[in-house]
Structure 1
């Protein structure tokens, strides 16, 4: 844990290296000291069909799925670190956002081989 899902508008592919973004995000999560490095999992999904009220539709939204139990302050610290830590690298992104999604411990199941 965590599972970090990066959603972004496909127009950004021409302006960024998504592997570099994922690496920087990994570093930020590692620095938070909230997670064991070996447990951090990241993936990205571009969206070609995007529409919003903004003239520029470019966006990146980062969802951090973590086991429940952290305080609102810990969650805000994580999302703030992500947005602030990526802002300089992602200056071309019109809308950059992050959220924490709790995974209920009671129902989470995992198998490793």
Structure 2
């Protein structure tokens, strides 16, 4: 945790490759000082077939799953900074958004916990 999963149209890779985008999202998440960099995970899912408002416009949407405990203000700052970074990297992509979901510490489990 945290997990940042970016869904996007494949055509955004004309501007930047996946490795660069992953690095930029990682660095932006680190810059918020909300997470230990060793815990940050970033992935990208690209789509060839999609619809945005019944149109075929480029899009980026970041889904963040983070451990509970951050304030609403911290989560809003995280979203704002990530979206701002993506807008800078992709000024011609009209649809860029992010949402954050909290998961409970009580129900979280990973390999080292079993």
Give runs of ≥4 in structure 1 deviating > 6 Å: none
Residues paired across the two proteins, number: 112
- Equivalent pair of 1:26/1:42 in contact (CA under 8 Å): yes
In structure 2, what is the equivalent of residue 16 of structure 1? 16
Report Cα offsets for 1:62-88 as digits up to 9, x if no partner. 011101121111100000010112211
- Equivalent pair of 1:11/1:58 in contact (CA under 8 Å): yes
Q: How does 1:9-88 map to 2 (within 5 A)?
A: 9-53=9-53, 55-88=55-88
Q: Distance in 2 between matches of 1:67 and 1:17?
A: 29
TM-score normalised to the size of structure 2? 0.89
In structure 1, what is the equivalent of residue 99 of structure 2? 99
Deviation at 1:90, TM superposition (A): 1.1
Deviation at 1:92, TM superposition (A): 2.5
Q: Distance in 2 between matches of 1:16 and 1:54?
A: 26
Q: CA RMSD in A?
A: 1.4
Report Cα offsets for 1:13-62 as digits up to 9, x if no partner. 33321211111111111111111111111000001221122645210000
Higher percent of residues as helix: 2
Q: Distance in 2 between matches of 1:60 and 1:87?
A: 10
- SS of match in other structure, 1:88: helix
- SS of match in other structure, 2:89: coil
- Unaligned residue ranges in structure 2 (runs of 5+): none
